[in-house]
Amino acid sequence: MMALRKGRYEVRTAEGPDDVREAQRLRWLCFVGRRGDLEPAGDQLDADDYDSRCTHVLIREQGSGQLVACFRMLTLSGGSQIGESYSARYYNLSRLQDFHGKMVEIGRFCIHPERQDPDILRLAWGALARHVDEQGVEMLFGCSSFIGTDTHGYEDAFAMLRERHLAPKRWLPRVKAPNVFRFARALRLRKPDPRRAMAAMPPLLRSYLAMGGWVSDHAVVDQQLNTLHVFTGLEIRAIPPARARLLRAAGA
């Protein structure tokens, strides 16, 4: 079981169905409840069939016990199992079948909307760094989500992804979902404004990119979760040594 305490927060894996249900409740708040067009009715949860296959990680404030963030992990022995991932429902990941090495899909990562403490994300990455080292993981991947399904306001962010952060061709996901925004094609002539681009980038995605992560050349329009998401991959060996040391220190 993952267990880590740092500052005001503690991170650990779910111990039973009550913990998972609490994570599902926070996920609903972050992904669905924020839309404002739905009235809460009873115990609203974001749940799917992948929850039973995953390890759920919860971050709490130690003093109050409040759940402030969560995510789930699906471990694959290698690229031959990539079709079993949640991401494979939305992206053609056949090129990643040739990846040799243990992989972990990070899903449903969310931070309580009333919590803006950067230490929460820092602790999450520290816990992941410890897990990567202990389990010999060679790639992290998942879907990084932009809030809403309207691309307006995200043009600079997507243009920067196209210019600097597209996946290597040997791993590049191909289109599978019926509704996508092909930003690499649509914004091929746009020169991104770096400040506006980074301001519009989701915090989790910024972290991936700072460590050498890469993305798909298109975003999936997910009406159910009211997001635009891009497939994101991070090869552990590509993480700059100085950054890796900081992550390990956060997870110590």
Q: What is the 3-state secondary structure (H, E, C) of the chain?
A: CCEEEECCEEEEECCCHHHHHHHHHHHHHHHCHHHCCCCCCCCCCCCCCCHHHCEEEEEEECCCCCEEEEEEEEEECCHHHHHHCCHHHCEECHHHHHCCCEEEEEEEEEECCCCCCHHHHHHHHHHHHHHHHHHCEEEEEEEEEEECCCCCCCHHHHHHHHHHCECCCCCCCEECCCCEECHHHHCCCCCCCHHHHHHHCCHHHHHHHHCCCEECCCEEEECCCCEEEEEEEEEHHHCCHHHHHHHHHHCC
Q: What is the pLDDT of residues 119-143, one digit of tens each?
A: 999 999 999 999 999 999 999 999 9
Give residue 34's pLDDT. 72
CB 214 within 8 A of CB 167: yes
What percentage of the chain reaches a pLDDT higher than 70?
A: 96
The pLDDT confidence band at residue 52, using thresholds 50, 70 and 90, is: very high
How far apart are the C-alpha atoms of 126 and 35, rounded to whole Å? 30
CA-to-CA separations, 22 to 27, 57, 80, 87, 227, in angstroms, rounded: 9, 11, 32, 23, 22
Q: What is the structure's pLDDT at 110?
A: 94
In the prediction, which pLDDT does 39 show? 53
Q: How far apart are CA 157 and CA 92, in angstroms?
A: 23
Report the C-alpha gap between 22 and 19 in whole angstroms.
5
pLDDT band at 246 (very low <50, low <70, confident <90, very high): confident
125 closest CA partner among 46, 198, 59: 59
Hey, what CATH topology would domain 3-250 get? Aminopeptidase (3.40.630)
Taking residues 7-22, report their average pLDDT.
Answer: 95
pLDDT at 36: 57
- Per-residue confidence (pLDDT) for residue 7, from 0 to 100: 86
187-220 pLDDT, tens per residue?
A: 999 999 999 999 999 999 999 999 999 999 999 9
Going by C-alpha positions, the residue among 128, 79, 137, 93 that lies closest to residue 107 is 128
Residues in the chain: 252
pLDDT of residue 42: 57
* CA–CA dist 103, 212 (Å, integer): 16
- pLDDT tops 80 at residue 50: yes
| Confidence (pLDDT) at 244 | 85
What Cα–Cα distance (Å) separates residue 9 from each residue in 104, 117, 119, 127?
Answer: 24, 11, 8, 12
